[in-house]
Amino acid sequence: MERGERILAAAGELLLAWGYRRVTIDEIARRAKVGKGTVYLHWKTKESLLLAVVLSSKTRSLRRQLERMRADPLEILPSRTARGYYRDFLCDPVLRAMHTDDSDILGRLNERAATELSDLVGESHRALHRHLEILREHGLLRDDTDPAHQQYALVAVITGFFMSEVLLADRAPGNPDVRTDILVHTIRTTLETPASSAASATALATAAAPGIIALYERLEQLSAREIRRRCVTDSQPGGNER
């Protein structure tokens, strides 16, 4: 593992174990087996490093989404995309903390991410909007509802399922697969057309997939660029944030 990646991994482990407030650059350096100055060779501040941890988790999930879409064009359907992202959420503690606004772990990171990553968030919003438009153009999404309302409904449903993992934990079906199936059914019946489950769906999805995949490839590139922007590999050691 490259030194910068080792530092990022150590920061992620400590963020989950201790929470934002307790993590220090000294402890990150100790966990990564590097000097404190070496951490500052790669990352400007503790906050910048830990924001990169959050962004890296989102980017890994985006890459998995792209892999699923490339392997099976039906993965562009909102119900299938939501299923993959929900499973990523269940398996990734950083995503879970982020989407449930776990302040014990993230501290002020969600607030800072909303400010510092606003351009990336805006690009993600536009990509999803265009994603739904392409599905409508190919007859895979209902056209009797305003596209903006469909996007809101999709995000609201997924967000609700994320938050329910915390708020309704004692009343939710005990098996994550059951909850995933409920999510898929809800989105499919709310947004998708009968064609999305018919034999012709694969042909329609195959035609629509390249344009949708291109949207998320661009988003992946922008996310990777944002992570790199937070690196300072050629600067001098410095900083004293603890």
% residues pLDDT > 70 (the chain): 94
**In the prediction, which pLDDT does 175 show?**
86
Tell me the CA distances in angstroms from 236 to 26, 213, 232, one per residue in order. 17, 39, 8
pLDDT average, residue stretch 69-87: 96
158 or 104, greater pLDDT: 158
Please name the fold of domain 57-229. Tetracycline Repressor; domain 2 (1.10.357)
Angle at alpha carbon of residue 106, lines to 105 and 112, rounded to 5° = 175
The pLDDT score that the predictor gives to residue 200 is 85
Q: How confident is the model at residue 1 (pLDDT cuts 50, 70, 90)?
A: low
Answer yes or no: is pLDDT of 234 > 70: no
Identify the pLDDT of residue 232.
61
- Of 94-98, 187-191, 227-231, the range with the highest mean pLDDT is 187-191
Tokens of 162: 């994320």
How confident is the model over 13-71, as pLDDT tens digits?
999 899 888 999 999 999 999 998 889 888 888 888 988 898 899 999 999 999 999 99
Q: What is the mean pLDDT of the chain?
A: 88
Across 85-94, 104-113, 161-170, the highest mean pLDDT is recorded for 85-94
Token pair 């059914």 is found at: 185
Helix (H) or strand (E) holding 9: helix 3-18
192 forms beta bridges with 141
Residue 238 has pLDDT above 60, yes or no: no
Q: Provide the token pair at 220.
A: 């992946």
Query: Residue holding tokens 């050691």?
Result: 237
Tell me: pLDDT of 242 over 70.
Answer: no
Asked whether the whole model's pTM tops 0.75, one would answer: yes
Phi, psi of 231 (to 5 degrees): -85, 150
Residue 188 vs residues 76, 141, 207: alpha-carbon distances, Å: 12, 9, 20
* pLDDT over 60 (residue 192): yes
pLDDT of 111 strictly over 70:
yes
Which tokens is 56 given?
């890296």
pLDDT in tens, 196-218: 777 789 999 999 999 999 999 99
